[in-house]
Amino acid sequence: MASIIESGWLYLITHFSDFQLACLGSFFLHESVFFLSGLPFIYLERAGWLKKYKIQMKNNTPAAQEKCIVRLLLYHFGVNLPVMLASYPVFRHMGMQSSLPFPSWKVILMQITFYFILEDFIFYWGHRFLHTKWLYKHVHSIHHEYATPFGLTSEYAHPAEILFLGFATIVGPAITGPHLVTLWLWMVLRVLETVEAHCGYHFPWSLSNFLPLYGGADFHDYHHRLLYTKSGNYSSTFTYMDWVFGTDKGYRKLQALKNAGVENGGKQT
């Protein structure tokens, strides 16, 4: 298996420049993973399949879903792609490379763990700041247009917020100057995580059922349902920042009520 991957990688670095791979290749990878993982949730919602796992019973209209897709394409080509192009010199300066051999799995794992920790920290404070009155009204309210999120709404946001989210995601790799394969793996994991967090479904196989401190769809869906001043649950991938600063109290109280068989202010379920 390793030899097949290395052969495929050798083909890429032989036929494409580092700039093409790091910028255009990264953009193509992002778009492919994002839409291939996000689009199925639109069809699940329209068809009503797996409805028993849907967190909110309300559905988005086809027009709202289509609006999201159109805006996303504009944002991705108008914001994401230019950011990737502009950040290439920084990554090169910090030592990013694409040549063989690949770094060891130990190095890849350590770097991606560092990226998750740093991204969580930056995202939490930035996201919490976006919920102040002025920034919410003028910037973050765009993302909250969808009170019932679906996978693709994860990147539906004001261009200023997209820049912030991009910074939170790339600052770790920019610091370490990773191998391109590490950068791509980090990108794939981050996209899959944020799509899952916005998917609107809590499945028995959802990662949050097995991985401690992992947020997932149920945790983030709560954030979308409430008023901006009282939402909480500001974390990105893992929930420890909300736990440390007490911004998940409402969510934990609701979970405790559910576990006790009581919901909605004492009404029996």
Cα distance between residue 77 and residue 238, in whole Å: 29
Judged against a pLDDT cut of 70, whether residue 38 lies above it is answered with yes
What pLDDT is attached to residue 260? Answer: 87
pTM over 0.85: yes
What pLDDT is attached to residue 269? Answer: 38
Judged against a pLDDT cut of 80, whether residue 197 lies above it is answered with yes
Q: What mean pLDDT is predicted for residues 202-210? A: 96
Judged against a pLDDT cut of 60, whether residue 265 lies above it is answered with no
Q: How far is CA 231 from the centre of its chain?
A: 18
Q: What mean pLDDT is predicted for residues 19-38? A: 97
Which residues lie across from 267 on neighbouring strands? 263
pLDDT digit string (tens) for 76-127?
999 999 999 999 999 999 999 999 999 999 999 999 999 999 999 999 999 9
pLDDT digit string (tens) for 133-189?
999 999 999 999 999 999 999 999 999 999 988 899 999 999 999 999 999 999 999
Q: In whole numbers, what is the pLDDT of the chain averaged over residues?
A: 93
Judged against a pLDDT cut of 50, whether residue 51 lies above it is answered with yes
pLDDT tier at 3, thresholds 50, 70, 90 = confident
What pLDDT is attached to residue 263? Answer: 45
pLDDT tier at 229, thresholds 50, 70, 90 = low
